[in-house]
Amino acid sequence: MREIDIFGVPQVEETIVPSMPYMGSKRKLATKILNVIYQIVGDFDRVYDLFGGGAAFSIAALMAGHKVHYNEKNTSIVELLRYIVAGKKLPNRWITREEYKEKISGNDWFAGFLKSCWSFGNNSEKGYLFGAKIENLKRLGHLIVVDKDELALKELSEILNINLTMPKNRLQFRQIIKSLTGERGDLEQLERLEQLERLESLQQIQQLQHLEGLEKLQQLERLEGLQQLEISNFDYTDVEIVPGSAIYCDPPYVGTAEYKEGAFNHEAFWQWCREQSNPVFVSEYKAPDDFKVVAEFKHRSILSATNNAKVTIEKLFWNGRGRK
């Protein structure tokens, strides 16, 4: 819940919010962005999150006590959120590459689940989460951690020629893997290419990204007040906006991933922002000169194919409306 500081400005605790894993997620920035908006325009009642994606900003605003309208053009992601809001059970079984390919193009909640937890970088355009080389090791890791499958544990032990013990949870599994890959002695003497490749894959298996994504969805399931979220599946221009509200937009960035439904018209979007009487705040790398930069956020790339140490700077732009 937002509080009023000594200067009469609302503020919220800056924290990571529960959300659906989705490309470009703002779960680490949502509360920071909300606080910047308060500094610019003061308090307000209703918030529109017009490119809702994983719903991080919507959740941050909901937790702050606002009335929130979440909108997203990707139908399956919207259906996944509705499924979660309805309190329905999420699957934790292993999803094969074949099932992924068969069902990823649907518009139902399960296709949204695949995009959120089983696509590389939470982006279905990049395909199935795991490469063919390590897919079986990831499958065995899933069976061991989730299903406590003794046969899977035996198979992984035999593949790696290492005696593994059954972990209690994913975190303990990561600790076991880290301790093994950090050993010296016999492991250091493995010279055959196949064994070295297995060890490399063993270091990667500790991540179990789909389980991390599932945990984030389960956190979202348990969030109180989620049923108060107003949800729509429109183009941003078709959402009816109440005067006096704040608008947040996290559109496809110029030069990066676009909507699967078609290329995004950035010029038309900025013109739409100019025409709004309500304050509009936009996350982007760059914007037309008549939009003011009100915040910058640095973060490290974690999905770059060549440089995971790369630091990018996202900016928050404002259309100049609604100054307090």
Q: How far apart are CA 78 and CA 300, in angstroms?
A: 28
Instruction: Please state, in angstroms and rounded to a whole number, the distance separating the CA atoms of residues 115 and 23.
Output: 9
Q: Which CATH number fits domain 3-73+234-318: 3.40.1190.10, 3.30.9.80, 3.40.50.150, 3.30.70.120?
A: 3.40.50.150
Residues of the chain with pLDDT under 50: 183-185, 187, 189-192, 259, 303-307
127-169 per-position pLDDT tens digit: 999 989 889 989 999 999 999 999 999 999 888 888 889 999 8
| Gyration radius of the chain's alpha carbons | 22
The pLDDT value given to residue 254: 86
What is the residue extent of each domain of the chain?
Answer: 3-73+234-318, 97-217
How far apart, in whole angstroms, are the C-alpha atoms of residue 54 and residue 17? 11
Residue 194: per-residue pLDDT: 61
Task: Concatenate the DSSP letters of all residues of 126-156 into one string.
Answer: G-BSS-HHHHHHHHHHHHHHHH--HHHHHHH
Average pLDDT of the chain is: 89
- CA separation for the pair 237, 232 (Å, rounded): 12
In sign, the C-alpha dihedral spanning 81, 87, 92, 95 is negative
pLDDT at position 311 is 82
Q: What is the structure's pLDDT at 197?
A: 65
